[in-house]
Structure 1
Amino acid sequence: MSVALSSATAAPASATPRVTYPVDEKRRKLRIAIVTENFLPKVDGVTRTLARLLEHLNAEGHEAIVCGPETGMTSYAGHPVVGTFGLPLVVYPGLKLNFLRPRFIRRLQQFKPDVVHFVDPIFLGAQMLPMVQKWLPLVPCVSSYHTNLPTYATLFGMPWLEATMWRLTRSLHDRCEMVFCPSESTRRMLRSKGFSNVEIWSRGVDTEIFTPAARDDNLRASWGCTPKPASLTAPLTPSVSGSAIAGSSADEAAFFQLASKLGLNLRGSPKRRTSAGSPYDDSFIRTPPSGPSLTGSPEMSPPPSYDSLSSIPDLDGAAFALPPPAMPTNTFHALHASSSSEAAPAPPAPESKTVILYVGRISWEKNLRLLIEAFRMLPAAVRENAKLVFVGDGPARGDLTRLCARHKLDATFMGHQKGKRLAAMYASSSIFAFPSFTETFGQVVLEALASGLPVVGLHAEGTSDLVSHGRTGLLLDVNAAAKSVAAPPSSKAEVEASGSRAPLSPRLVALRNSESSSPKSAADFASAASQAAAKLRPAYERSPSSSASRSNAPTSGLPTPIPSVGDFAAAMTPSSAAFGACARSYSMLLERLVRDRALRAAMGQRAQVGASRRTWWDAMDAVVRGYEEVVEKAGIHNLSDDELEALRARQRKKAPLTGPIVKALIVLYLALFCMLWSRFLSS
């Protein structure tokens, strides 16, 4: 080995070439300037991701400076924050139109960045981009696309503005060396719009916080949901890789063996076989009884279950007599009668409910009306056993609260939550419902998956990159569901009960109207619901294909194309027949998971395993590698500490954009803007 690795010894030509080991070189420390339209303390997906990035840069030894709206913060994660004033948007007061200030350019020149990162450039970015390229011509620029702002024009009733916004957004991003987006579906969409040089900047999840172990039964009790009984908290062993929901053969064999020893004859006992295929001969593990047979002894047979201790009968035989009570029965009844002669019996404990959780901004562009209508369409027996929990805040919270109260829906609004409190709400729920179609990634979806929740969402950008249909959740193809509106409604009563003109098959109408809890009725409905849900599955799941073809199936989303924003907007109009069909299909997906706990458990286990592979360090380091790539391509080398301090001293003496002429122009610009704004408000 020493001969092979020695550089002084010549190896023959036929010998194995010498192995060279990569040198663990120290990565260069970067200075990054970040220009953002939005920042903390406003909490949304963009600001949370930006906060994670700043924390990662600080941990890795990089320097950063943030230029954004004025929020009262002067630093974050050890990085300075420079703010500017802005005017709130009329249609969305939570967002502002931020204006460029000369101090931004002065601070950037003093900071001497290696790269400038524009986060969702629209208004402030449109002002800053030409100024940065004017005063810092050698510094490369990158951008990141987080929000489908052009699609909001269609959602707010201005579809004629969408094309113009796409052209503006594309022109801003094209002036940058690299464009980051959070998901593969978003990259496909951007490329179809003419964007170039688009790279993936994914997201991660903190699995130490978002985990099923964060479940809080006290929180469930505050929601009116009792803790799960012992029969439901027993761990399941579903197959994580396959679609079958079944326990392991060893556990099943042990269960039936114990039942046979107790004298119970259970139906459906598996035919246990040895590895050679012959029936099991388990006599070697059975202890021969030394006395009378246990199965023939009525004293040792298991008693039936009882609801209370008072209904347990005494055992036969003096040897098995129960010990005397601490207080005689007559005395107890006399004391109880004297304390409360008209006391009502204690109400039975309510059954554990299935909690359907939504986390995100409470605004109508999140398509929350679909979730409300789908919850209304659940059968009465299913709806009484389910509860809606909304976590978040936004402009539509008041309207949504009144809507749930008007329809008498069991819904609770928890407001904005974060950290371990938010993780407890994920883990204490059963299903995560996310009907939004305007996401570029969907951070809350990833957090729900890490918490072991199956997701019921739409086949849309962002969500389809995280949810595997049939494995970690269920996705609704809006275009496929909207095609079912051709048939007439089943009955007038059904239409009035659902608030929709979408049809139901006569079989499902009869089963839902019966509301029977008998095993036969439940089995019939489960079969019908499975058949209806199978029609919404992709073709590769419906067709009996070979294992080779199934291995080529997509790992996430549906194989069908994602509907366009126009298709979503048309299908999600509450007054349209397509909306009723989509709400009914979404309701069936919810009902399928509410009824089938084993399926929820299997999906939750797969979801947790898949989400655990997405770490925040890998996600944030992806954008740092992008920084390194554009800096290396630009050929910029860092200054030494002494050179940087000398440069900053010169910049302080003579900073650009601070003369009297420039100040006068800025005052004139603000006066003109205020005059135009006042005319706009008066009109």
Structure 2
Amino acid sequence: MRVALFSGNYNYLREGANRALNKLVGYLEREAGCSVRVYSPVTDTPAFKPEGTLVPVPSVALPVRDEFRLALGLPHSVRDDLKRFNPQIVHVSTPDILGVRAQSWAIDRGVPVVASMHTLFETYLEYYRLGWLKPLVRAHLSRFYGRADYVVAPTPALVAMLRDLRGDEHVSVWSRGIDREMFSPTKCDMSWRRAHGIADDEIAVLFFGRLVLEKGIDVYREVLANLQTNAKVRALVVGAGPAESSFSAINRTVLTGHLDGEELSRAVASGDIMLTPSTTETFGQVVLEAMASGLPVVSADAPSSRALIEEGKTGILCQSTAIDEYVAAIERLATAPDVRKAMGDAARSASTAYSWNAASESVYEVYRSLVAQTY
């Protein structure tokens, strides 16, 4: 099977969406015998080696978030490459200009289109004072997902939403996976904590992921400021991004910057509690990675977190902006090591339900069904 995949960011920044796409492409080529060509903007400093054959698409930097690139369409060189490749499936993963043009290209030629949902773009707008654009963005997203022959989304809640939007059942779950050897409680390292100035009797409250406003940084900062007056806690921030300076107001914050591999595993497992106030996730890969590392998670009560966290067993869900609820939840866990350990153990156990191969196979089965119906 020949698959053409279109992405707005396949490997130039490390994010949950492109990691899932790379896992999918690796599975398709190694396990399913597919040939995959990926069309995406690129940079001179990619975050990781891409799976499949990556075809660069000309792009420009976005004005508000210049770390991201925007392809302005399908130039002749890309169209010629597509014609030679002659894909049997077109998979669009970003509702940008490139994704829309790729949809049109496939529709004009009778090639089935699969769309995958990775980002709740409309939820980002308020963080950048662009809330007035919501009606336009929602209309565009409705059309984009409505034009696809089939849509895959990471949680049952999003599947239900998309089925309502489309008015049909041609939507299913494409979940995510976890490397439980990489993310494991065994990677906890007290000497690493001490080297970063975290005392043995301090509770390290982890913030993990890209440091951008839409991840709930303001809430995290306020919660830590309240906690530090009543409990012996430290802010442990693992990640990098344009909003890094927002953490400077938190007393004695440990900022690790971007980490990979064993360094990342050690940092995450060396936290005590993860706090994630984000309501903009479609899945929450970092939550799953913290759970696999044996950390109880205190999270905003959002559809993505409800799909991963069992309230009171693997974590605690709070109203998204209720600072007092977050503070109470973390103080409870900080002062009850037995509860914290039991919740972390349960979170680790719950992570066994997630497999990259099983998740990728579910997408391949969608491809197979569409190809069988079409050709």
**What residue identity is the alignment partner of 1:105?**
R
What's 2:315 paired with? 473
Does 2:23 align with 1:52? yes
What's 1:353 paired with? 202
Q: 1:188 to 1:155 in 2, by over 3 A?
A: farther
What's 2:171 paired with? 198
CA contact (8 A) 1:122 1:169 kept: no
Name the SS for the 2:67 alignment partner. coil
CA contact (8 A) 1:458 1:464 kept: no
Q: Give CA deviations for 1:191-215 in whole Å, capped at 9, x if unaligned.
A: 4545642211000000111111111
CA contact (8 A) 1:387 1:411 kept: yes
**What residue identity is the alignment partner of 2:361?**
D
Name the SS for the 1:130 alignment partner. helix
Name the SS for the 2:280 alignment partner. coil
What's 2:88 paired with? 114
CA contact (8 A) 2:247 2:253 kept: no
CA apart distance, 1:98: 0.7
Q: 1:594 aligns with which of 327, 331, 334?
A: 334
Does 2:209 align with 1:209? no
Name the SS for the 1:66 alignment partner. strand
What's 1:340 paired with? none
Which TM-score applies when normalising by structure 2? 0.94
Does 2:260 align with 1:423? no
Q: Give CA deviations for 1:163-207 in whole Å, capped at 9, x if unaligned.
A: 211111111121111111111122233345456422110000001
Alignment partners' CA distance in 1, 2:166 and 2:319: 26
What's 1:373 paired with? 222
Does 2:127 align with 1:148? no
Q: 2:151 aligns with which of 176, 179, 186?
A: 179
| Aligned positions of 1:248-327 closer than 5 A | none
Name the SS for the 1:355 alignment partner. strand
CA contact (8 A) 1:356 1:386 kept: yes
CA contact (8 A) 1:54 1:76 kept: no
What's 1:247 paired with? none
| Aligned positions of 1:387-536 closer than 5 A | 387-401=234-248, 403-404=249-250, 409-478=251-320
Q: 1:378 to 1:102 in 2, by over 3 A?
A: same
Q: 1:154 to 1:187 in 2, by over 3 A?
A: farther
CA apart distance, 1:609: 0.8
**What residue identity is the alignment partner of 2:354?**
R
Alignment partners' CA distance in 1, 2:277 and 2:310: 16
Q: Give CA deviations for 1:91-130 in whole Å, capped at 9, x if unaligned.
A: 1112222122112221112112121100122221122221
CA contact (8 A) 2:177 2:357 kept: yes
What's 1:219 paired with? 192
Q: Give CA deviations for 1:116-146 in whole Å, capped at 9, x if unaligned.
A: 1001222211222212323xx1321101010
- The runs of at least 4 consecutive aligned structure 1 residues that moved more than 6 Å come to none
Q: 1:623 to 1:89 in 2, by over 3 A?
A: same
What's 2:6 paired with? 35
Alignment partners' CA distance in 1, 2:54 and 2:87: 14
CA contact (8 A) 2:240 2:258 kept: yes
CA apart distance, 1:368: 1.1
Q: 2:102 aligns with which of 123, 128, 132?
A: 128
Alignment partners' CA distance in 1, 2:366 and 2:307: 22
Alignment partners' CA distance in 2, 1:476 and 1:631: 44
5+ unaligned residues in a row in structure 2: which ranges? none
Name the SS for the 1:471 alignment partner. coil
Q: 1:473 to 1:415 in 2, by over 3 A?
A: same
Q: Give CA deviations for 1:421-465 in whole Å, capped at 9, x if unaligned.
A: 111112111101111000000000000111110000011121111
What's 2:367 paired with? 627
Alignment partners' CA distance in 1, 2:229 and 2:124: 35
Greater alpha carbon shift after TM alignment, 95-104 vs 356-365: 95-104
Q: 1:477 to 1:47 in 2, by over 3 A?
A: same
**What residue identity is the alignment partner of 2:275?**
A
Alignment partners' CA distance in 2, 1:55 and 1:441: 20
| Aligned positions of 1:538-549 closer than 5 A | none
- Structure number with the higher strand fraction is 2
Name the SS for the 2:353 alignment partner. coil
Alignment partners' CA distance in 1, 2:239 and 2:50: 25
CA contact (8 A) 2:273 2:297 kept: yes
Q: Give CA deviations for 1:455-502 in whole Å, capped at 9, x if unaligned.
A: 000111211110111000000034xxxxxxxxxxxxxxxxxxxxxxxx
Alignment partners' CA distance in 2, 1:31 and 1:219: 46
Q: 1:628 to 1:194 in 2, by over 3 A?
A: closer
What's 2:212 paired with? 363
Alignment RMSD: 1.8
Q: 1:444 to 1:379 in 2, by over 3 A?
A: closer
CA apart distance, 1:156: 2.4
Q: 2:76 aligns with which of 102, 117, 126?
A: 102
Q: Give percent identity, aligned residues only.
A: 31
CA contact (8 A) 2:153 2:175 kept: yes
| Aligned positions of 1:581-620 closer than 5 A | 582-620=322-360
**What residue identity is the alignment partner of 1:469?**
E
CA contact (8 A) 1:36 1:121 kept: no
